[in-house]
Amino acid sequence: MLVKFLHKISQKYASKWLVLLFDISIIVATFFLSYLIRYNFKIDFDFSVILRQVPYVILAAAISLIAVGSYKGVVRFTGFKDIVNIVIGANILATMLISFTFISRRVINEDTIFNISGSIIYIHLLLNILFLIGAKLFIKSIYNYITQDFNNISNVLIFGAGNSGMLAYDAIENDTKNGFEVVGFIDDDERKIGKKINLLKVYNISSIDESFIKKNNIEDVIISIQNIDPSRLLQITGNLFSLGLKVKIVPPVQNWIDGDLSVGQIKEVKIEDLLGRDPINIKNPDLEDQYDNNVILITGAAGSIGSEICRKISLYKYKKLILIDNAESALYDIQQEFRQLGLENVDAIVADVRNRARIEQIFNQYKPKIVFHAAAYKHVPLMENNPFEAVSVNVGGTKNVADIAVKHSVDKFVLISTDKAVNPTNVMGATKRIAELYVTCLKGKGHTKFITTRFGNVLGSNGSVIPLFKKQIDKGGPLTVTHKEITRYFMTIPEACQLVIEAAAMGNGGEIFVFDMGEPIKIYNLATNMIILSGLRYPEDIDIKITGLRPGEKIYEELLADGENTKKTYHEKIMIAKSRHIDIVYIEKQINKLNGINSLTQPLEIVSSLKSLIPEYISNNSTYEVLDTKK
């Protein structure tokens, strides 16, 4: 009953004037105590003099505390800055009392009530600091005890015994409803190991084993190291996951709300955190000039990349945003998302880029100035079996939109390409490479500046390996990997779209933008990490099955084609691929011929035409390898 009453009281905040009165009461009490200490706890002083001095002490205390504003602080959240304020206020009070004493001795006489011994003032100063801070911290600890839910406490270790670790510790201690109880720190620094911080021991990670975890009932580890190397993070999380621990991570300091860390910002480690490279961050103030007050058209607007580009562009003061896709359900979803956000001047149009007349009509109606062309067929095995569809969309669709963009004097046309277009081994990659070549051929043929962005696999995109692994984990496995040595470059969807939007602003026409994606990741390792991230064990809980390479699939992806190299841009992670010289007349002629092939043509004839146009296109694990032997 008492606990419930105290809990109810704890939900209320004390008036700042009540806090001021409480602090002054402590100062008056310590004033009496100062006399007792000065006279060795004997009443060898005139008590009536003290009583006459108290009103002036109260006045000086009120002035000093109001001056520093310490009474305005919420006692239950007392922190370092509040303690500093108390120390400053106590020193102001002591200074005022010394000044009163000095003036009274010099101007009035030594018998005045203002005449307070210097030793008493200094004792009073020290007692004020001790008791004022002690009282605040005592009340804070009582509040924390009352409000704590002891039924849902999780013992945690903080990895990182530096400044960031201490900030994480303070955030947890100040939030009594977080359900965490910090029982120690982990650190790599040998100088810290074995020492104590806030009475909590610092451990070496090698000492964190199953017996330690069982003895201390550890459930979570919070990694609180700023700018941690991703490869080191991968190593740490792998060790902790193998012990059955949950791993959380403190976000970068620039992402803290108003510069302060809250427990709510400490999240579970995600697969993006384990990419093995630093995230790409682009900050360009010139982007507003590019997109504000412009009509912007996005094809493939309902796809993973297209929809994220839409979201990024919606943050600018665009004049009109045109979303085109032939997938009506997905397009409806993105339309409803924007409506719920209250975004205006957004038109969602169901249209197919293969329908030239329909695309022409849209350009005539809206007159866009910037076009992002994300519409494409991208699934390698499906396109390997359906080459005509790959050509009709990835080549024919791109040609339609690009030609119409030139006709309508669009300012910029941004093509979304893929690393599979580099030295392609499959139909999908070959068609995307032809799309790159075609927009290169259009350079200088009109007002439009053509820009290509080329990047690797996108985490979480429709049909990508991450959602597939998640579904397989939900079903109890096994996870399917085509080859144990297969590697891929990865980026997050926001990173990919940052690159695309930056390229549109940076490009002057004719460039192929690629960027430093770090080291490629083994899909097999990605699979094992996802199993562990799901709180399961490999191979005890979920196994991994090697299924063999799919038709047209590479073991290793590339970002640059044969004969290409790069030159730097103002952003260290973004580069421009310097392409080899191409015969524009021949390329255009062959593309027009390719687009003239009808659907009744045999797949071998279509792929043969692709190979004649892209000499570096060598099929891999595909029925079309027979065409390479003929070469």
- Nearest partner of 298 among 241, 368, 246, 230, judged by Cα: 368
* Residue 623 domain-assigned (yes or no): no
Residue 180 and residue 132 in one domain: no
Tell whether the model's pLDDT for residue 517 goes beyond 70: no
Domain count, the chain: 3
Q: Specify the CATH number for the domain of residue 242.
A: 3.40.50.720
Q: Give the pLDDT mean for 313-333.
A: 93
Residue ending a domain, among 147, 176, 198, is 147
* Residue 281 domain-assigned (yes or no): no
| Confidence at residue 480, expressed as pLDDT on a 0 to 100 scale | 92
Q: Give the pLDDT mean for 564-578.
A: 66
Residue 336 and residue 460 in one domain: yes
Residue 504, SS3 per DSSP: helix
Residue 540's pLDDT band, with cuts at 50, 70 and 90, is: confident
Write phi, then psi, for 337 (nearest 5 degrees): -60, -45
Tell whether the model's pLDDT for residue 501 goes beyond 80: yes
Residue 560 and residue 474 in one domain: yes
CA 610 – CA 581 distance, rounded (Å): 19
Residue owning tokens 């109001």: 66
Residue 624, SS3 per DSSP: coil
* Residue 93 domain-assigned (yes or no): yes
Tokens representing 277? Answer: 């490279």
Residue 338 and residue 215 in one domain: no
Tell whether the model's pLDDT for residue 42 goes beyond 70: yes
Residue 197, SS3 per DSSP: strand
- Where is mean pLDDT largest: 363-367, 490-494, 498-502? 363-367
Residue 6's pLDDT band, with cuts at 50, 70 and 90, is: very low
Residue 176 and residue 36 in one domain: no
Residue ending a domain, among 147, 162, 186, is 147
Could you please report the per-residue DSSP string of 238-286? HHHHHTT-EEEEPPPGGGSBTTB--GGG-EE--GGGGSSSPPP----TT
Q: Give the pLDDT mean for 160-178.
A: 79
> Which is higher by pLDDT, 155 or 495?
155
| Confidence at residue 324, expressed as pLDDT on a 0 to 100 scale | 97
Helix axis angle for 493-506 and 304-313, nearest 10°, is 60
Tell whether the model's pLDDT for residue 477 goes beyond 90: no
Distances, alpha carbon 291 to alpha carbons 338, 414, 494, 500, 512, in Å: 18, 13, 18, 13, 21
* Residue 627 domain-assigned (yes or no): no
| Confidence at residue 336, expressed as pLDDT on a 0 to 100 scale | 94
Residue ending a domain, among 147, 175, 205, is 147
| Confidence at residue 227, expressed as pLDDT on a 0 to 100 scale | 73
For the stretch 212-251, pLDDT in tens is: 998 888 888 988 887 777 667 777 877 787 787 888 888 7
User: 541 near 283, Cβ under 8 Å?
Assistant: no
For the stretch 394-447, pLDDT in tens is: 999 999 999 999 999 999 999 999 888 888 999 999 999 999 999 988 888 889
| Confidence at residue 572, expressed as pLDDT on a 0 to 100 scale | 66
Other C-beta atoms closer than 10 Å to the C-beta of 439 total 25
Distances, alpha carbon 302 to alpha carbons 414, 439, 474, 516, in Å: 17, 23, 26, 27
Residue 403 and residue 469 in one domain: yes
Residue owning tokens 């146009």: 613
What are the beta bridge partners of residue 180? 154
Residue 99 and residue 225 in one domain: no
| Confidence at residue 19, expressed as pLDDT on a 0 to 100 scale | 82
Residue 456 and residue 397 in one domain: yes
Residue 133's pLDDT band, with cuts at 50, 70 and 90, is: confident
CA 111 – CA 109 distance, rounded (Å): 6
**Percentage, residues of the chain above pLDDT 90:** 24
Q: Give the pLDDT mean for 598-615.
A: 84
Residue 26 and residue 135 in one domain: yes
* Residue 618 domain-assigned (yes or no): no
> Which of 109-113, 138-142, 181-185 shows the lowest mean pLDDT across its residues?
109-113
**Sign of the dihedral through C-alpha 191, 192, 195, 198:** positive
* Residue 250 domain-assigned (yes or no): yes
Mean pLDDT of the chain: 82
For the stretch 276-317, pLDDT in tens is: 555 555 566 667 778 889 999 999 999 988 999 999 899 888
Residue 319's pLDDT band, with cuts at 50, 70 and 90, is: very high
Residue 216 and residue 138 in one domain: no
Residue 67 and residue 166 in one domain: no
Residue 392's pLDDT band, with cuts at 50, 70 and 90, is: very high
> Which of 458-467, 562-571, 582-591 shows the lowest mean pLDDT across its residues?
562-571
Tell whether the model's pLDDT for residue 109 goes beyond 90: no
* Residue 626 domain-assigned (yes or no): no
> Which is higher by pLDDT, 469 or 371?
371
Range of the structural domain that residue 559 is part of: 287-613
Residue 446, SS3 per DSSP: coil
Q: Give the pLDDT mean for 527-538.
A: 78
Residue 366's pLDDT band, with cuts at 50, 70 and 90, is: very high
Residue 330 and residue 202 in one domain: no
| Confidence at residue 352, expressed as pLDDT on a 0 to 100 scale | 96
According to DSSP, the β-strands at 200-203 and 346-350 are unpaired
* Residue 325 domain-assigned (yes or no): yes
Residue owning tokens 């030159």: 567
For the stretch 368-384, pLDDT in tens is: 999 999 999 998 889 99
Whether omega before 615 lies within 30 degrees of 0, making that bond cis, reads no
Secondary structure letter of residue 457 according to DSSP: E
| Confidence at residue 2, expressed as pLDDT on a 0 to 100 scale | 44
| Confidence at residue 85, expressed as pLDDT on a 0 to 100 scale | 84
| Confidence at residue 1, expressed as pLDDT on a 0 to 100 scale | 47
**Percentage, residues of the chain above pLDDT 70:** 82
